[in-house]
Amino acid sequence: MLEITESPIDRAKVDAAVDHPGAGAIVTFLGVTRNNFDGRPVTGLSYEAYPEMATSEMAKIVAEVQQRWPGAQVAVVHRIGELVVGEVSVVISTSAPHRDEAYQASRFAIDALKARVPIWKKEHYADGAADWKANQT
């Protein structure tokens, strides 16, 4: 399951996509819209994607996870459009035979997503200003 969506994300569906009888652990990562940037009040975020390429880059990350952690499965759903504070922007569910691989693969997947998947974020501030924000690299 790899998706870019304008709708709120159903977390349970993303978990279900990686749940299988051989899974001993499922780690769910949620990216959530924070109410401030370094103390400056934030009211919401806009996300934009290069959808075709975002999906194909996500597929590459999943393939890398499966190579590095045999038996692991990853599902990724990223929301785009307008989000208010507290809403979930991304869900990454990772299953693996054991919890150690599930945690490691989950961390790898979100870090790789932030570095490589073509998605952009604009922060909207309470004072009316807005900025495109880059991930830390």
Partner 1 sequence: MHEVQVRYFAALKEQRGCSEETVAIRPGETAQQLYERLFPAINGQRLTVMFAINQHYAQPETQVCTGDEVAFIPPLGGG
Q: State in angstroms the smallest separation of the CB of 26 from partner 1.
A: 20
CA distance 45 to 36: 11
Q: State in angstroms the smallest separation of the CB of 107 from partner 1.
A: 12
Select the residue interacting with partner 1 from 1, 31, 62, 98 (CB under 8 A).
31
x/- map, 94-123, partner 1, by CB under 8 A: ----------------x--xxxxxxxxxx-
Nearest to partner 1 of 22, 137 (CB atom): 137
Q: Can residue 53 be called a binding residue for partner 1 (CB under 8 A)?
A: yes
Nearest Cα residue to 100 out of 28, 14, 27, 16: 27
CA distance 130 to 111: 25
CA distance 98 to 67: 16
DSSP state letter for 86? T
Nearest to partner 1 of 21, 134 (CB atom): 134
Nearest to partner 1 of 23, 112 (CB atom): 112
Nearest to partner 1 of 100, 131 (CB atom): 131
The phi and psi torsions of 125 (rounded to 5 degrees) equal -100, 160
DSSP state letter for 117? S
Q: Can residue 90 be called a binding residue for partner 1 (CB under 8 A)?
A: yes
| CB-count burial class (<10 Å; 0-12, 13-18, 19+) for 8 | exposed
Q: Where along the sequence are the contacts to partner 1 (CB under 8 A)?
A: 31, 47-50, 52-54, 56, 78, 89-90, 110, 113-122, 132-135
